[in-house]
Structures are given as C-alpha cells and as structure tokens.
Chain A
Amino acid sequence: MNDQISILDGNTFVVSDRRGDIDASPTQTRGLFHMDTRFLSKFIFTIDGVRPNVLSTDDLQYFSVQFFLVPGTGTVYVDSPLSIVRKRAVGDGFHEHIAIQNHTAEEKKFNMRVDVGADFADLFEVKDKLKKKGKLYTKVLQNKIVLGYKREKYIRETAITASKDAKVDAKGFSFQVVIPKHQTFEVSFDVVTAKDGRNRIIDKPKYSRASEQARPDIGMSLTEWIEKAPTLISSWDELEQIYKRSLIDLAALRFNSFLFPNESLPAAGLPWFMAVFGRDSIITSFQSLPFEPELAKTTLQLLAMRQGTIVDHFRDEEPGKILHESRLGEMTAFEERPHSPYYGTADATPLFLILLDEYERWTGDTKLIKLLEPNMKAALSWIDKFGDRDGDGYVEYATYNKKTGLENQCWKDSWDSIRFSDGSIAPLPRATCEIQGYVYDAKIRSARLARKIWQDETFARKLEKEAESLKRQFNKDFWMDDRKFFALALDGKKRKVDSITSNIGHLLWSGIVEDPKVKNCVEHLMGKDLFSGWGVRTMSASEGGYNPIGYHVGTVWPHDNSFIALGLRRYGYNKEAAVLAKGILDAAFYFSYRLPEAFAGYNREQTHFPVEYPTACSPQAWSTGAPLLLLRTLLGLEPIGDKLLVDPAIPKDIKRIELLNIPGRWGKADAFGRGRITI
C-alpha cells in the first residue's frame, strides 16, 4: 500500500506521509516542491513531543487532503480524549488548517509543536544524492519563520506563518494549548514559496482556507473537467472506476509551464517528473485525444515554440528537434545539467508529427496545422538531416554531452535497456526499431496533411516515397529471419541487437511491418515469453538481459501495452488486442484503479496479482492515459472524414461498454459495444 500522500497544483506539489508529516531524508522525495526545488523538507506535527497516529486520510481531491489523527498509541480499551484533523490545500505553497477537538468533560493542556525546515534541494540533487553549493539561512520573526537559500544571485525563500501567537524558534512553532471541555483548538499555517526566481512577491498561498471550494490554476475545476469528458457506462463496474481515476489523475497532472502560465499540458509523473517532457506529453495527449483534445493542442503549441533552433551539444539540441525535458531547478540554472531545455530524445520529433496529424483527424482544427507548418517542416528536416546522422536511412542517437547527456534517447531510456540476447550492452549510436516505425508513420501522416491542408501534392508524394523506401529497407535490415522478429536496434557497428522486446508492438502501431511478417510478430507478443498474463513485458523472459523487476528489461508498462493493443487492431488482430486490454485493465483493479508507471513481469499464474515495481511513479501520465487508449481500442474508435467510426472488439467478460459525448470534428458522438469475443 502506498504510504505517501501527494497533492498538486500546476508545478507545485506536496508529498507527505499518511499523517501529513514531511520528514524528508536527503534522498527521499517528500516535501513541498515548486519549480523542481524542495521549498520545505520538514513539517512535523507533535503533541507533547509525540507524533500522532493516523486514523484515515482523505485525498480524493488532487489539490487538497485531510488527515484524521489521534494522539498517543491508544488501545481498544481506551478511547482517545483528543482527535486531530489536518486539512491541507496546495497552491503557491500550501495552507494547512489544524483542528484539535477535546472529547472529554475536562480541560486538556498540552504542548503542540510544528517543526519546519527546508533544504532547497534541486530534484536532481535528491535523485542523485548531491550536496548543495550555496548557503542556507533562517529568519525568525513574530509568528513567522523565513527559510532561505542563496548562491550568488540565486535566492529562494519559503515563508511560514502561524495564524495564532506562538513561541517561535529557528526550528519551529510551539503552542501551549489549553482546550476547555468539549471545545476545539484551531490554528492554521500559510507556507508560501515566497521567492522562486520570478519577479513577484507572494505573501499568501492560494487558498486562504483549506476547506474553501478549490480553484486550481489549471483552467477548469475538477468537476468541470470530469463533466466535460465523455461519460462511460459499463456492465463492468471496475472499468467505470478505472476511467474515473484516469480522468482525475489526468486533471491533476496538467502542468503549467513557467513560460506559459495560462496553458496546461500533461506533465510526465509524480514525484520525479512534474515537468514538460516531449515524449511523455505527446504520448499522453495522443492517448487522451478522444476524451480531452485540448491537451494535445497545448502540447503541440508549446513544443513547437520550444523546438530546437541551433546546434548546441551541451543540450543535444539541433534545429527542428523537439525537446526532451525542461527543468527549472538550481542545477539547471547553473548549467550543471542541460535541461534548459534538454533535447536528448530521438523519438519526440517523429511523435510530434504523428500527434499533429492525429489531432487534426480528431478535431478538424486546420488553423493550428496551418500555423505550425514551419515547425512541421523543421521537424521533418531534422529527421533527415540530424536524426539520420550517418546517412544510412535510419534515425540513430548518441549524446554529444558525455558528462550529463542521456545514454538512451528512446522511451526505454535507462542506461542498460538496449541489450543483445546474451545480455551485453549494444554500443552507440543506436537506431532502435520503434523510432524507425515512428518516422515511417510521421512521413505518411505528414504527407496526408501536406496534401489536404497545404495542397502541396509534390511534397506529399516526396514524403510518401521516402516512407515507402524506409519501410522496404527496414523490413530487410531489421528482420531476423532465423528467429522471425525484428531486431531491437542496429548498434554502432550496424549489427542487429537481437533481443526480443515489446518494441515490435510499436512497429505494428506505426504500420511499418510488411504483411507477411505480422503473424510472427503477433505470435511473439502473445507468446508466454513476452506476455505475462497481465501484459507484454518490455523484454522477453527468454533473453539474457531479462529481469522481471528490471526497469526496461522485463517489467510490464501499461502505456507500452496500450500502443501494442492499438497496433494489434491496426492489423486486424482484434482478439489479441482484447486479451491485452483486459489484462492491463484487470491489473488496474489491484492498484486501486490507478495504473503505475510499470509493474513486475512475473507470470500472472504464478503471483495471481500484479507485483508492484519498487520505485514506480504514480500517477504517471502515460499510465493514466493507458486505459483511455485501451477504451478507444476496445470500441474501435477511428475518425473517418467527419464521422466517427465505431467498430467494437470487446471481450465477453465485459458485457457492455457505452461511451457517450465523444468530442471531435463531428460535434459529439456516442459509441456502444457488446462483449462478443471469447478470450
């Protein structure tokens, strides 16, 4: 069970334990985070020096939470004389209201204390266990503590103010509390990210009262967000729960960029990845298109605006390239990390082109497509000029920033993900197979837009010709005829990296696979070595590098599977798509309807429940989006001209799915499907 509670608003979030306390160790992600910096690392509540016990926690809203506590250890024979309710709401810091109720017929006296502290750690420092280079300072004022950090002109400050008179020292607030019989003591704290590098003064958090009706930064409220989304009705109650959880989490993960405070796009995940990520934002926007198409629009606009302009090896930037990750913490500020922004991704650029086309297919928003024509052409130009760095027709990657650049620039971006069958690591530069699929798809889709929107037949034909040539060549160069699947990659010596992985599922999604080879790919994907019973593993259990709890070498990733299922349907393997969709949705039930970033690759028959991956982010945007794409796949939703095609392929276990008010170029449409597939 998850023992931490997270609430968030834009790029500010609070991670605490289930009591509401923040007690961060240098390597733990608990704290108040804002702009990739921990503004508060300690916030501990005690009564007579003892931390209370938790009765329950209510975190149904993503921006506020309530903690119900009792002091001391208590037993079943002794009722607690006091109860404590902490209510917290996040926004420009957080507001916390504490109410302590005396349930007895006699007066109660005790010392209440809140200890505070801030280490102003950059998220990279937390992750990589690094030390700070500047100086911390503390100012003690009347009922107020200011915690600060200074390094040259870089200044960050957190101000904490108590609403009642307190004895204040450098480490916290003390109250000598006297509560008459059956009365309540109340106090609140304003914790403000007072100096965050922007030229503005913040003296109060967004919510003056934690119990007040929430007004999140991100455009519409949660209620409006959910009401605006299509309505799901299903005979399988769990599916409705999963859908609701996904919508709530998607709302929570909407992120306000520092540079575009009025627009929101999906951040990648909590707690490590509350930032703009090219790949993650694109993938999540794609998954969400039938449900929340505005996310795709903002993602496309923001990524276009920050498209690479020059060759900058420190940032792995090249003209036309779509960014990988943007950060705002101290290490980025002092260029000790290249994330301002960092462009170390080889797939975000073709994925950007794919999303652009898919967005037009669903929404008919030709205005945006026309506006982004220069960006689209720059992205296509990057593929040929910089992506394919040796002229062999394939996009390959290797960082130019040897010190802090990324080793792997595909979605499996851990250092050891691209391995040969014997487990050895493939040398750079690497051309992974799925990126070639994305490039193929990007060119086919860009040709459609060139023809339809820009009326440029010559350019459309050129792109189609290039795509067909890539498909022909790819099916020769990557196919392993002895083992009947596509190699994971071509390595720096143009050798086939011969591991069998989930990447072949992405090839189906892209359409690059020639028909005679499809059946072999499907047999591998649904065979016992890749398919765990819950989903397709990132790497086959038959491979030397396989590890069921290896980040990209054996775990099951829900987003990965959502695209594989879509790929299976693309080639007419409807039953297999239904099996996969059901497996992943079944797993969601065991994670309280919230799919994590990844879970272990153990066989379903062996464990009977999906085993949690130790450090998985949750919620993670593209895992949140996975059930949405799976729903689209089960119902067979495809825009055809100005109509929405519905072609359900639903397992019999799910008797009925209705999705009402699906937004798109058709206005609103409904989709109905009955479970007819035996799995």
Chain B
Amino acid sequence: MKSKPKKSTDSLDLVFSSERWKNLGDKLPANKKYRFDITGAGSWTLVALNGKIQIAKKKEDADCVLISSKEDFLRIVSGKQNLLTALLQGVITTEGDLGLLQQFHAALRKSPIDKI
C-alpha cells in the first residue's frame, strides 16, 4: 500500500500554495510574470492567466523579480513588513518593472498571508 505523500510544512511552500495567493488572480495584471528569488531556498515563478494564478518552483525570465531572504520574505507576505519600505531600506532588492511590484504590493496588502 502506498503511503500518502506528506504535506509540506515548510513555510515557503505554505505561502506559495496558500488559497490567498491563488486568489490574487484578479488583482494582478494578466500575463505578467513575477519571480521570487529566496536566498538559499530557490525561485518561484508566478503568473496570472485568465484570472487564475499559476505558481511553480522554477527560475524563469520574469517581468518583475523580487530578491529576498526567507525571513524577510515571510515578514512581507504576512503583512508585518511593508514591501515598499523594505525596498527602500535595502532589505529586499528588485529587478524589472517597478510598476508591477507596486501592483503586487497593493494585492498583497489586501490579502496578507497572516497564518504561516
């Protein structure tokens, strides 16, 4: 008998598989690719297609890239640290379209992942 695959308890996996992130589909611009490079943990790519979010753990070219430590990333997505002030402080860095980052920031503020 096959054993049931174990559900990941890693906080990053919890974030990227959370229902709230899946619901960002109508809040983010369509067909724009975001990538999150989390130091020491890997890269995740996110894209909104037809109002639905697709997230995969892979490194692809993206329109907007956010580079962060795991700790800072979790503080940001949980709403404990403002994304824009994190950027100004040098806590995170970005590449690509900052307008897209602003849209991600606005979407995230409405739907923080407050239970990690």
Q: Mark B74-97, 1 if CB is under 8 A from A, else 0.
A: 000000001011011111011100
- Contact between chains at A309 and B88 (CB < 8 Å): no
For B87, give its contact among A197, A260, A305, A306 (CB under 8 Å). A197
Cα–Cα distance between A306 and B84 once the two chains are bound (Å): 12
Q: Mark A427-440, 1 if CB is under 8 A from B, else 0.
A: 00000000000000
Verify if A224 is at the interface (C-beta below 8 Å from B).
no
Verify if A328 is at the interface (C-beta below 8 Å from B).
yes
- Contact between chains at B88 and A333 (CB < 8 Å): yes
Cα–Cα distance between A199 and B101 once the two chains are bound (Å): 14
> What are 30 inter-chain pairs, A to B, with CB distance below 8 A?
A152-B89, A152-B90, A153-B89, A153-B90, A153-B91, A154-B88, A154-B89, A197-B88, A199-B67, A199-B95, A258-B98, A259-B101, A259-B102, A260-B99, A261-B98, A305-B102, A305-B106, A306-B102, A309-B109, A309-B110, A310-B110, A328-B88, A332-B85, A332-B88, A333-B88, A333-B89, A334-B85, A335-B82, A335-B85, A340-B82
Cα–Cα distance between A333 and B110 once the two chains are bound (Å): 21
A375 to chain B, nearest CB (A): 11
Residues of B close to A259: CB separation below 8 A: 98-99, 101-102
A155/B90 contact (C-beta < 8 A), A260-B99, A332-B85, A335-B85 known? yes
A310/B109 contact (C-beta < 8 A), A259-B99, A259-B101, A260-B98 known? yes
Chain B interface, DSSP helix/strand/loop, else mixed = helix
B50 to chain A, nearest CB (A): 18
Residues of A close to B17: CB separation below 8 A: none
Total interface residues on B, using CB and 8 Å? 20
- Contact between chains at B85 and A340 (CB < 8 Å): yes
Which positions in A face B, CB cutoff 8 Å?
152-155, 197, 199, 258-261, 305-306, 309-310, 312, 328, 332-335, 340
* Of A152, A328, A333, most B-chain CB atoms within 10 Å: A333
Q: A197-B88, A328-B88 are in contact. List 15 more A-B contacts (CB 8 A).
A: A153-B90, A154-B88, A197-B87, A199-B95, A259-B99, A259-B101, A305-B99, A306-B102, A309-B109, A310-B110, A333-B88, A334-B85, A334-B89, A335-B82, A335-B85
Residues of B close to A306: CB separation below 8 A: 102, 106
Residues of A close to B84: CB separation below 8 A: 340
Cα–Cα distance between A305 and B85 once the two chains are bound (Å): 17
Cα–Cα distance between A199 and B97 once the two chains are bound (Å): 12
- Contact between chains at B106 and A309 (CB < 8 Å): yes
For A154, give its contact among B90, B98, B101, B106 (CB under 8 Å). B90
How many residue pairs between the two chains, A and B, have CB atoms under 8 Å in the bound complex? Answer: 50
A340 to chain B, nearest CB (A): 5
* Of A199, A306, A328, most B-chain CB atoms within 10 Å: A199
B88 to chain A, nearest CB (A): 4
* Of B82, B87, B88, B93, most A-chain CB atoms within 10 Å: B88
Q: Mark B100-116, 1 if CB is under 8 A from A, else 0.
A: 01110010011000000
Residues of A close to B99: CB separation below 8 A: 259-260, 305
Residues of B close to A261: CB separation below 8 A: 98
Residues of B close to A328: CB separation below 8 A: 88
A593 to chain B, nearest CB (A): 36
* Of B82, B84, B95, B106, most A-chain CB atoms within 10 Å: B84
Cα–Cα distance between A310 and B106 once the two chains are bound (Å): 9
A221 to chain B, nearest CB (A): 24
Q: Which residue of A lies closest to B79 (CB)?
A: A310
Cα–Cα distance between A328 and B90 once the two chains are bound (Å): 12
B35 to chain A, nearest CB (A): 13
- Contact between chains at B85 and A333 (CB < 8 Å): yes
Cα–Cα distance between A199 and B37 once the two chains are bound (Å): 14
3 residue pairs, one from A and one from B, having the closest CB atoms: A333-B88, A153-B90, A199-B93
For A199, give its contact among B94, B102, B110 (CB under 8 Å). B94
A333 to chain B, nearest CB (A): 4
B107 to chain A, nearest CB (A): 8
Cα–Cα distance between A406 and B13 once the two chains are bound (Å): 41
Q: Which residue of A lies closest to B112 (CB)?
A: A310
Residues of B close to A334: CB separation below 8 A: 85, 89
Residues of A close to B89: CB separation below 8 A: 152-154, 333-334
Q: Which residue of A lies closest to B81 (CB)?
A: A335
Residues of B close to A332: CB separation below 8 A: 85, 88
Residues of A close to B90: CB separation below 8 A: 152-155, 197
Q: Mark B47-60, 1 if CB is under 8 A from A, else 0.
A: 00000000000000
Cα–Cα distance between A152 and B92 once the two chains are bound (Å): 12
Residues of B close to A258: CB separation below 8 A: 98
Residues of B close to A153: CB separation below 8 A: 89-91
- Contact between chains at A305 and B98 (CB < 8 Å): no
Residues of B close to A312: CB separation below 8 A: 109
Q: Which residue of B lies closest to A306 (CB)?
A: B102
Cα–Cα distance between A335 and B89 once the two chains are bound (Å): 10
Residues of B close to A335: CB separation below 8 A: 82, 85
B23 to chain A, nearest CB (A): 15
Residues of B close to A309: CB separation below 8 A: 106, 109-110
Residues of A close to B88: CB separation below 8 A: 154, 197, 328, 332-333, 340
Q: Which residue of A lies closest to B107 (CB)?
A: A309
Residues of A close to B103: CB separation below 8 A: 305
Residues of A close to B106: CB separation below 8 A: 305-306, 309
Cα–Cα distance between A154 and B90 once the two chains are bound (Å): 5
Cα–Cα distance between A340 and B98 once the two chains are bound (Å): 14
Cα–Cα distance between A333 and B82 once the two chains are bound (Å): 9
Cα–Cα distance between A197 and B85 once the two chains are bound (Å): 11
Residues of A close to B94: CB separation below 8 A: 199
Residues of B close to A260: CB separation below 8 A: 98-99
B2 to chain A, nearest CB (A): 45
Cα–Cα distance between A348 and B58 once the two chains are bound (Å): 43
A316 to chain B, nearest CB (A): 14
* Of A259, A305, A335, most B-chain CB atoms within 10 Å: A259
Residues of A close to B98: CB separation below 8 A: 258-261
B28 to chain A, nearest CB (A): 13
Q: Which residue of B lies closest to A333 (CB)?
A: B88
Cα–Cα distance between A340 and B106 once the two chains are bound (Å): 12
B76 to chain A, nearest CB (A): 13
